[in-house]
Amino acid sequence: MVHTTPPDPDRDPFSCRGFLADETQLVREGPDFAYDLVASLDTATRAAMDLMGLHALAPGADITVSARTSVVCAGTTPADALQAAADFTRATANRLTPSSLTLTRTSGPVEGLGEWRAVMIVTAAPAAPAGGVRR
């Protein structure tokens, strides 16, 4: 997670990732989604740092950039989309923890026909203790 507080390499040497000199080269290895995630995080982090440099945020404000995974469940009705989200959550209960849910109506694959999307932000569930059972 990157906050708008400038990175401190003495405390966390990895906090400067994304703030390296322009000569730094990005080596593209691995699946495309991983590259897209890194590019999105880097762009968002730079934007947050630029905003902090241009304007002082209000005393009670902060900007946080973090890596989260979104899961999109679509349906022709709100009930269909929410049921798909519930089914997904039930099926992955021991592996993923949902942290937010948004229901939106969007244009569908056919012009003039919309669809409903339940978008969940999920994170990996903590591992069960060795020899123990997660409850």
Do residues 85 and 101 lie in contact, with contact meaning Cβ atoms separated by under 8 Å?
yes
Q: Tell me the pLDDT tens digit for each residue of 5-54.
A: 444 445 444 444 444 444 445 555 667 777 778 888 888 888 888 777 76
Per the structure, the count of domains in the chain is 2
Q: What band does 85 get if pLDDT is binned at 50, 70 and 90?
A: very high
32 and 59 both lie in a single domain:
yes
Query: What is the reported pLDDT for 110?
Result: 74
Residue span of the structural domain in which 35 resides: 2-65
The reply to whether 135 falls in a domain is no
31 and 50 both lie in a single domain:
yes
Residue 114 has pLDDT above 70, yes or no: yes
99 and 120 both lie in a single domain:
yes
- Please classify residue 98 by burial: count the beta carbons closer than 10 Å to its beta carbon, then call 0-12 exposed, 13-18 middle and 19+ buried: middle
The reply to whether 41 falls in a domain is yes
Do residues 124 and 95 lie in contact, with contact meaning Cβ atoms separated by under 8 Å?
yes
Residues 6+ apart with CB under 8 A from 46: 18
Residues 6+ apart with CB under 8 A from 134: 94, 125, 126, 127, 128
Which stretches of 86-127 are assigned E, i.e. beta strand?
96-107, 114-124
Q: Tell me the pLDDT tens digit for each residue of 49-61.
A: 877 776 767 777 7
Do residues 88 and 105 lie in contact, with contact meaning Cβ atoms separated by under 8 Å?
no
The reply to whether 9 falls in a domain is yes
- What mean pLDDT comes out for the span 109-132? 78
The reply to whether 83 falls in a domain is yes
- What mean pLDDT comes out for the span 84-113? 89
Q: What is the pTM of this model?
A: 0.57
57 and 74 both lie in a single domain:
no
